């Protein structure tokens, strides 16, 4: 009798396990079959990966994310009918964060490098930019060309276009967490110079800023910003449509003027 009871219990357990397996598989397949756009709409939010990078993404006095990119991301999410969630990431791990679905996109004044374009589904370029050298004002006259930079120690953001330029010009550099930290290194005297985005330099250094003693000198390259999604994501095309609409109705220029980056806008056709 005991053996029959045990056998019955085992059969019931086996059946329940089979039912559990058969019911979970279709759900997983259904999720996998959804596009990125469908998935974020179902989740009710667009999760955006950023770093502290004024004037693109930075926090106000209340701890809220603001900036040209932050405002655009919020507007794009609203256009999709959902909320936006902005989270700070390690820039060196941006591709990993995207692929493991910790974030839905990287929207942070991201240069469209070959690595970025091969690893992500990228939007059309929306801003012009360049990598520039930051030094103290009192020594700026000494550093007017790339040859004069060889003996300086630099701070650059890890995994950034600035680091790429440091490598390309064979400069002596230390990689730091973000571009804001690179500026702090120069201000503190722990690095002679930094390489940061020209848009950030225009907003963060010089007269009337928190780094009045700093200035930018040598421009190292010319580049463009784009937004990165997972490879094959349909959100990139939706963002391109959104960019075009906002360019035509003036919204893009309005947000750009709020943060002083209107001169860098790329025409959306």
User: What residues are paired with 49 via a beta bridge?
Assistant: 87, 106
Task: Tell me: do 44 and 166 sit in the same domain.
Answer: no
Task: Tell me: do 57 and 141 sit in the same domain.
Answer: no
124-181, pLDDT tens digit by residue?
A: 999 999 999 999 999 999 999 999 999 999 999 999 999 999 999 999 999 999 999 9
What are the CA-CA distances from residue 82 to residues 72, 90, 107 (Å)?
14, 25, 17
- Please give the structure tokens belonging to residue 170: 């064979």
Phi/psi at 127 (nearest 5 deg)?
Answer: -145, 140
Q: Which domain holds residue 237?
A: 36-128+224-264
Confidence check: pLDDT of 22 > 70: no
Q: E strand or H helix at 176, and its extent?
A: strand 172-176
What are the CA-CA distances from residue 37 to residues 89, 180, 188, 240 (Å)?
22, 32, 44, 13
Task: Tell me: do 78 and 211 sit in the same domain.
Answer: no
Task: Tell me: do 195 and 235 sit in the same domain.
Answer: no
Task: Tell me: do 46 and 159 sit in the same domain.
Answer: no
182-191, pLDDT tens digit by residue?
A: 999 999 999 9
Question: According to the model, what pLDDT value does residue 1 have?
Answer: 47
Answer whether residue 8 is part of any domain: no
Task: Tell me: do 90 and 115 sit in the same domain.
Answer: yes
Question: According to the model, what pLDDT value does residue 12 have?
Answer: 46
Confidence check: pLDDT of 32 > 80: no
Phi/psi at 189 (nearest 5 deg)?
Answer: 85, 10
pLDDT band at 29 (very low <50, low <70, confident <90, very high): low
Question: According to the model, what pLDDT value does residue 218 have?
Answer: 96
Answer whether residue 5 is part of any domain: no
| CATH code: domain of residue 68 | 3.40.190.10
State the number of CA atoms in the 13 A half-sphere of 214 facing the CB.
28
pLDDT band at 26 (very low <50, low <70, confident <90, very high): low
- Please give the structure tokens belonging to residue 81: 């009918």
- What span, in angstroms and rounded, lies between the C-alpha atoms of 112 and 188? 31
**pLDDT average, residue stretch 104-113:** 96
Q: Provide the H-helix boundaries in 151-218.
A: 161-168, 179-188, 198-204
Question: According to the model, what pLDDT value does residue 7 have?
Answer: 44
Q: Are 182 and 157 in contact (CB under 8 A)?
A: yes
Question: According to the model, what pLDDT value does residue 223 have?
Answer: 95
Q: What share of the chain in percent tops pLDDT 70? A: 88
Question: According to the model, what pLDDT value does residue 269 have?
Answer: 78
- 10 Å CB burial of residue 266 (0-12, 13-18, 19+) is middle
219-233, pLDDT tens digit by residue?
A: 999 999 999 999 999
Task: Tell me: do 184 and 158 sit in the same domain.
Answer: yes
Structural domain tally of the chain?
A: 2
Answer whether residue 1 is part of any domain: no
pLDDT band at 82 (very low <50, low <70, confident <90, very high): very high
CB atoms near residue 33 (< 10 Å): 8
- The model's pTM is 0.80
């Amino acid at each position: 009798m005991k053996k029959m009871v045990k056998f019955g219990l085992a059969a019931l357990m086996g059946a329940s396990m089979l039912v559990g397996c058969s019911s979970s598989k279709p759900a997983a397949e259904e999720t996998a079959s959804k596009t990125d756009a469908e998935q974020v709409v179902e989740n009710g939010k667009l999760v955006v990966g950023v770093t502290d990078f004024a004037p693109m993404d930075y926090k106000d006095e209340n701890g809220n994310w603001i900036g040209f990119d932050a405002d655009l991301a919020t507007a794009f999410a609203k256009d999709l009918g959902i909320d936006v969630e902005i989270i700070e990431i390690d820039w060196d791990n941006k591709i990993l964060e995207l692929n493991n679905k910790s974030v839905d996109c990287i929207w942070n004044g991201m240069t469209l490098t070959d690595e970025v374009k091969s690893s992500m589904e990228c939007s059309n370029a929306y801003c012009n930019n360049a990598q520039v050298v930051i030094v103290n004002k009192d020594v700026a006259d000494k550093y007017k060309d790339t040859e004069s930079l060889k003996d300086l120690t630099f701070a650059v953001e890890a995994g950034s276009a600035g680091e790429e330029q440091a490598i390309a010009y064979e400069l002596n550099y230390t990689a730091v967490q973000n571009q804001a930290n690179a500026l702090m290194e120069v201000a503190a005297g722990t690095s002679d110079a930094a390489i940061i985005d020209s848009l950030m330099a225009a907003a963060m250094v010089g007269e009337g800023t928190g780094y009045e003693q700093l200035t930018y000198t040598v421009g190292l390259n010319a580049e463009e910003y784009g937004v990165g999604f997972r490879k094959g994501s349909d959100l990139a095309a939706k963002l391109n449509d959104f960019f075009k609409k906002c360019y035509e109705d003036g919204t893009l220029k309005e947000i750009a003027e709020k943060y002083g980056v209107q001169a860098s806008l790329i025409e959306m056709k």
